[in-house]
Structure 1
Amino acid sequence: MSRKQEVVKGNFVKYDAVVLGAGPAGEGAAMKLTKSGKKVAVVDMREQLGGNCTHVGTIPSKALRQTVSSIMRYQRDPMFQKVGEWRAFTMKQVLTHAHRVIQKQVETHTRFYDRNRIDIFYGRAYIQDQHSVVVFTPEGSKETLVFKELVIATGSRPYHPQGLDFNHPRVFDSDTILDLDYTIRKIIIYGAGVIGCEYASIFIGLNHKVDLINTQSVLLSYLDDEISDALSYHLRDQGVLIRHHEQIDHLDTFDDHVVLHLQSGKKIKADAILWCNGRSGNTDGLGLENVGLTPNSRGQLTVNERYQTNVEHIYAAGDVVGWPSLASAAYDQGRCAGSNIGGEENVKPVTDIPTGIYTIPEISCFGKTEQQLTEEKVPYEVGQSSFRHLARAQITGDTVGELKILFHRDTLEILGIHCFGNNASEIIHIGQAIMQNANNSVKYFVETTFNYPTMAEAYRVAALNGLNRLF
């Protein structure tokens, strides 16, 4: 007899907790709850586990980025330039590796759920009342799940403004761009947030012309100014045309091209357009009105520090609650929600989050920026290490980038770390660990021996550079 059959009472199934969504937030909540001895079920729209993160978000886009990065490295290495001529790739050809990674991820997550005896229901969830969810299966049947606690972790999807025909074969969002199956020469990317910048570096790496339309005055304004400037310079150096302070007026679509009309009067013609301007929470059709929950205009739910909505026994985590909309944070948010449901005390909300932006090369940061410290009138100093001076970067050819350490002039406490360059999202965690240590001090990096040659050596170089400014 299966576990599902064991808990059936009449024509419904009873659980301590039901989790809607099998992405990072849902998985984090489900695993934490089952480890606490709770009887847990997960409901997901897809027929495979992993959520949007695995199937159309983080995993495929980062696998795509890795393939493009490898192509770019091959192109710039003089040893291999004589081997063969450049050839054009379609997105589907480049994504071959990504599909293998996706399947491996699905298999891994499936083992996690099986090992922890968590019941999975595939289908559309509808919250019927305060303590029951109806699951409409792809086969046309329905099952009713009764719960004590509910976690909404349904994720998000690309925002679709009115007036754009996303069914047109030349109009894409960040999910559907992965299905691009014809060769293009030029693409318009509307929206220069994280996703827009990542895809700009990917498409320019595939030797396409890219117009990046930024509705703001600078790229990723929340970054340290120097890092934002470095990204802008590098994208332009690669050939990306960045247009700041622009807004769409309308879009004309044709069989073989699109024309974007901007409110400034500019007209831009390209083979396709990729819309990357915002995301919406997946809350429509969930039946939230039946439990007294109302999402905001972007479909997002408001939660407190316990990840609890204004309905006491209903929690939410991940992209559906908005900031920071990162897979890493979503998993931890889900675990926090599960911990609070399980009755744990002093559960800290997810706040100290490293930024990871997978442009080519990457960007990652943790802590305060120079502009923040200046506004707060904190006496700080700067230590810098340029990658072009590091032996390991010279060996690999990844000489673009820098590591910057911001630290207090008097206490030597590290206040912020900012990295632009290959493997930045890995390098950042060394600094993060020291910053969150009770003995946080920039002196750690000059009193510790690093392997040579490594990219981690950048910390020692930057620390020495900064300390030398004090005397």
Structure 2
Amino acid sequence: MNHYDLVVIGSGPAGRRGAIQAAKLGKRVLVVEKGTRVGGVSVHTGTIPSKTLRETALNLTGWRERGFYGRSYRVKQEISAEDLRRRLLITLDHEVEVLEHQFARNRVHHIRGKATFIDRDTIEIEKEDGETMRVGAQSVLLAVGTRPFRPDSIPFDGKQILDSDDLLDITEIPRSLIVIGAGVIGIEYATIFSALDTAVTVVEPRSTMLDFIDKEIVEDFSYQLRDRNMKLLFGQKAEKVEKDPAGRCRVTLDNGRAISADMVLYAAGRMGATDSLNLSSCGLEADSRGRIKVNPETFQTDVPGIYAAGDVVGFPSLASTSMEQGRIAARHAVGAPASDPPQYFPYGIYAVPEISTCGLTEEEVKARGIPYECGIARFRETSRGHIMGLDNGMLKMIFSLKTRRLLGVHIVGEGATELIHIGQAVLNLKGTVDYFVENTFNYPTLAEAYKISGLDAWNRMGELHQHVAAAQ
């Protein structure tokens, strides 16, 4: 039986980053991946596919140029599911090739197969040909990710009633789509298909969506969606999903209302992919959604030597944070020092339009009783926004009146997930409103919105607060 310093189960963002980090420290590392290719959910059904689909949709529809040429403008008149899939396969092949090269370059061993705990130190691997083998592990990193939650009450068929994994294999773009669930995944796909001119209805039992995002940003985002004729049915629960005699999908809501569409996407939650690990044999237990509890500083589970990172440990479930979690867990697992991650990390939602946020929301600032002021910039106020034909998009910053420090930055609009990193850097470096007022930004760029927003806040602070820094 082969023995390894670290056995990593799963090759998504957390798994691959953890494995490569341990290998760079000279440790013997094995990665076990049950999928047909390395990369995990992130590469094959999650992060990369959805973002590739988004980019393809925006390019082929000419979405970004409609501000100039009108809503009827399209780069390709007839867009097929095959058009979307062609670019997706090219992107996925590249991602897998890069990852396999990283494993080879860093001498990380990897095996295709399903891993199961025999005990704390022993893992059995069932290969695709049915052969089994066992390996010993000094430490284990669980990076198995999640899969779509599929309740028994939903008659999934992989063709018209789908989960987010099934959606990548559709053969035809629907004329109408009902999305059940207004979480990140549901909203991303809903807006992508809306950009493809599919009539989209979103059903959400809660009265709001994206509650962790600043309310003002969500309100602006919701306005943009409704402005392009998306239906947002909040406070209404999908009680029944079925097919009608005509072959269309019908969703009955808890208020008795029935709505129909060509296709239904069920995107109400995900489950940790832990049910096949036999966790009880090593003293672990997952919660009702298959997630594993960890120490948030080291990512060690309740069992010494066993770690978990990525989506399987719950919020924030981002590829970016999962990578850092995997790196920190691996360093701790092999006895190497690991520094704490920065206090603030960016959150990106790749909808159409994008949303990105970092730091405190206005609601959180109010709850903490911090005296504050906000600055707002609209993308249409920038020259770059005019050049790009942007009618929408905004950047909001929140500053402490007492210290003048930036508390949070929130963006909705084109390029939000790229622009956020300027605010992230200022947040983690404890910068103040003065940075944005006094700094020079490239002209013309959307980044100028930071200066506009900073000046807006500075003006609203009043003369007393403007000269606090000088007095100190």
Coarse TM-score class (shorter-chain normalised): over 0.9
Distance 2:329 2:172 in 1: 43
Amino acid at match of 1:211: T
Distance 1:412 1:54 in 2: 41
Indicate which of 420, 424, 441 corresponds to 1:432.
Answer: 424
Distance 1:350 1:91 in 2: 41
Pair 1:367-2:356 in alignment: no
Paired position in structure 2 for 1:235 = 225
Distance 1:130 1:457 in 2: 54
Residues 187-212 of structure 1, C-alpha deviations (whole Å, 9 max, x = no match): 10000011111111111111111110
- After TM superposition, list the pairs within 5 Å mapping 1:110-125 onto structure 2: 110-125=100-115
Indicate which of 192, 199, 212 corresponds to 1:209.
Answer: 199
Indicate which of 176, 184, 189 corresponds to 1:186.
Answer: 176
Indicate which of 257, 279, 295 corresponds to 1:288.
Answer: 279
Alpha carbons 2:299, 2:328 under 8 Å: kept:
yes
Task: Name which of structure 1's ranges 273-282 and 398-407 shifts more when overlaid on structure 2.
Answer: 398-407
Structure 1 moving runs of 4+ over 4 Å: 77-86
Q: 1:42 to 1:145 in 2, by over 3 A?
A: same
Q: CA deviation at 1:46?
A: 1.6
Amino acid at match of 2:163: D
Q: Secondary structure at the match of 1:166?
A: coil
Indicate which of 100, 124, 129 corresponds to 2:119.
Answer: 129
Paired position in structure 2 for 1:153 = 143
Amino acid at match of 2:252: H
Distance 2:80 2:247 in 1: 16
Alpha carbons 1:72, 1:205 under 8 Å: kept:
no
Q: Secondary structure at the match of 2:153?
A: coil
Paired position in structure 1 for 2:6 = 17
Q: CA deviation at 1:74?
A: 6.0
% identity of equivalent residues:
38
Alpha carbons 2:42, 2:319 under 8 Å: kept:
yes
Alpha carbons 2:63, 2:195 under 8 Å: kept:
no
Amino acid at match of 1:244: F
Q: CA deviation at 1:286?
A: 0.9
Distance 2:225 2:318 in 1: 23
Distance 2:75 2:263 in 1: 25
Amino acid at match of 1:299: G
Indicate which of 51, 58, 63 corresponds to 1:62.
Answer: 51
Amino acid at match of 1:194: V
Alpha carbons 1:74, 1:80 under 8 Å: kept:
no
Distance 1:449 1:352 in 2: 24
Distance 2:418 2:146 in 1: 26
- After TM superposition, list the pairs within 5 Å mapping 1:388-427 onto structure 2: 388-427=380-419
Residues 212-269 of structure 1, C-alpha deviations (whole Å, 9 max, x = no match): 0012111212211110101110110111100001112111125721111111111111
Please list every run of 5 or more consecutive structure 2 residues that lacks an aligned counterpart in the other structure.
Answer: 463-472
How many residues are paired up? Answer: 459
Amino acid at match of 2:216: E
Paired position in structure 2 for 1:382 = 374
Paired position in structure 1 for 2:94 = 104
**Normalising by structure 2, what TM-score?**
0.94
Indicate which of 13, 16, 27 corresponds to 1:38.
Answer: 27
Q: Secondary structure at the match of 1:446?
A: helix
Indicate which of 264, 279, 286 corresponds to 2:270.
Answer: 279
Q: 1:331 to 1:77 in 2, by over 3 A?
A: same
Pair 1:173-2:156 in alignment: no
Q: Secondary structure at the match of 2:402?
A: coil
Residues 68-97 of structure 1, C-alpha deviations (whole Å, 9 max, x = no match): 222243661656999879734333322321
Distance 1:110 1:72 in 2: 35
Residues 333-352 of structure 1, C-alpha deviations (whole Å, 9 max, x = no match): 00010111122346326763
Q: CA deviation at 1:283?
A: 0.2
Distance 2:284 2:243 in 1: 39
Q: Secondary structure at the match of 2:312?
A: helix
User: How large is the Cα RMSD of the aligned pairs?
Assistant: 1.8
Paired position in structure 1 for 2:309 = 317
Q: 1:183 to 1:84 in 2, by over 3 A?
A: closer
Distance 1:183 1:368 in 2: 39
Indicate which of 432, 435, 452 corresponds to 1:461.
Answer: 452
Alpha carbons 2:393, 2:413 under 8 Å: kept:
yes
Q: Secondary structure at the match of 2:239?
A: strand
Amino acid at match of 2:228: Q
Task: Name which of structure 1's ranges 456-465 and 348-357 shifts more when overlaid on structure 2.
Answer: 348-357
Alpha carbons 2:20, 2:106 under 8 Å: kept:
yes
Q: Secondary structure at the match of 1:43?
A: strand
Distance 1:182 1:31 in 2: 39
Amino acid at match of 1:441: T
Alpha carbons 2:62, 2:75 under 8 Å: kept:
no
Alpha carbons 1:156, 1:282 under 8 Å: kept:
yes
Pair 1:341-2:333 in alignment: yes
Residues 290-326 of structure 1, C-alpha deviations (whole Å, 9 max, x = no match): 1111100000000012111111011000011111111
Amino acid at match of 1:320: V
Q: 1:216 to 1:170 in 2, by over 3 A?
A: same
Paired position in structure 2 for 1:8 = none
Alpha carbons 2:68, 2:389 under 8 Å: kept:
no
Paired position in structure 2 for 1:267 = 258
Q: Secondary structure at the match of 1:336?
A: helix
Distance 2:116 2:341 in 1: 28
Residues 105-131 of structure 1, C-alpha deviations (whole Å, 9 max, x = no match): 111111110000000100111111111
Q: Secondary structure at the match of 2:168?
A: helix
Paired position in structure 1 for 2:469 = none
Please list every run of 5 or more consecutive structure 1 residues that lacks an aligned counterpart in the other structure.
Answer: 1-11
Q: 1:84 to 1:335 in 2, by over 3 A?
A: closer
Distance 2:199 2:77 in 1: 15
Distance 2:443 2:304 in 1: 54
Paired position in structure 1 for 2:83 = 93
